[in-house]
Structure 1
Amino acid sequence: MLTELLARVRRLEDERDIARLIASYGPAVDAADAAAAAELWAETGTYDVENWQMVGQAEVQAMVSSSAHRELVAAGCSHFLGPAVVTVDGDGAIAVCESLVLLRRPEPLPDSKVAQEYLVWRAAANHFELTRGPDGWRITKRSSRMLDGGPRAHALLTRGLRGVPAGDGP
């Protein structure tokens, strides 16, 4: 019984740690903290966004350090990753969530009573593959696809909910 309880506690702690890791992405990139964002990945982990693939922490760090990303931050943006559904299997895990990128409108809409307004710039499905290492959980693969009604995003969501790798499908 004690062994069973310890296993349940460890699984809950793993799920919490993974959810925290995924939730850390938005604040890290919105603060333009390239080192903190890169640290979420395993050293050789990949980040596949539509037709752009980053390999390794250095490429994730370069993306967050880029002038294009810094301009986005300076204009006012929010990368929000919703709650993740996490499936832990030993020292490996799969997680899935949806994300929004909000951009601040430079000028409010006419007759708006709100001083600041934001537009949804991007809505995406996100599938994560993670591994536990000596420093805790790290992303080994993140695949992100626009929620445009097509099969690519739907496949990521379905596979993530089943706790299976993203594969190389649609």
Structure 2
Amino acid sequence: MTTVEERLQRLEDIQEITQLIASYGPLVDAGEAERVAAMWTEDGVYDVDEIYMGDRAAIDAMVRGDRHQGLIQNGCCHFLGPAHVTVDGDRAVAVCPSVLLVRHEGRNFPARIGANHFDLVRTPEGWRFAHRTIRQLDGDAAARGLFARAGSFTA
């Protein structure tokens, strides 16, 4: 049986992780490279289908890069969530869908829909992403497999 304090800590952890995930879209759309990169551990991984970033510096560079800057200068919006979060002590996993909307010829269009899996760790600064994987929802089993990992700490 868990104590009230343990249950409260778990709820606070879930809320902090949910807020961390929810802050990604606004920060990346604002071009806040340092703040986006700080969401990961120093050696945290961001694995998108066609892009692999193996640390904070690579994540910062992605946000500052021409491709991403072109998106935000033309108008874009990243939506994540809602997230299913599971906490186990100082580690957690979260799974959620994401949508990237881009502006083209005066209208907004979905450019990407994805399945997201986050491995998180508690640090002295709070919860941080240790590994985030996104796979495009294009019918491939890999993306569905990320969703199937909801609540699971195994690959």
| TM superposition score category, shorter chain reference | over 0.9
Percent identical among aligned pairs is: 47
> Residues of 2 paired with 1:51 and 1:30: CA distance?
20
Q: Provide the aligned length of Structure 1 versus Structure 2.
A: 155
Matched, 1:152 2:151: no
Indicate conservation of the 8 Å contact 1:100/1:120, yes or no: yes
TM-superposition CA deviations, 1:14-37 (whole Å, max 9, x none):
000000001111011100000110
Matched, 1:163 2:131: no
- Secondary structure of 1:162's match? coil
Matched, 1:105 2:94: no
Q: Read off the aligned partner of 2:34 and give its amino acid letter.
A: A
> Residues of 2 paired with 1:59 and 1:28: CA distance?
16
What corresponds to 1:137 in structure 2?
127
> Residues of 1 paired with 2:152 and 2:9: CA distance?
18
Structure 2 residue aligned with 1:119, among 91, 98, 109?
A: 109
Higher strand proportion (structure 1 or 2): 2
- 1:66-105 alignment, distance < 5 Å: 66-105=65-104
Indicate conservation of the 8 Å contact 1:41/1:140, yes or no: yes
How big is the shift at 1:105? 2.4
Structure 2 alignment gaps of length 5 or more: none
> Residues of 1 paired with 2:7 and 2:81: CA distance?
24
What corresponds to 1:39 in structure 2?
38
TM-score by length of 1: 0.88
- Please provide the CA RMSD for this pair: 1.2
Larger of the two Rg values belongs to structure: 1
TM-score by length of 2: 0.96
Q: Read off the aligned partner of 2:9 and give its amino acid letter.
A: R
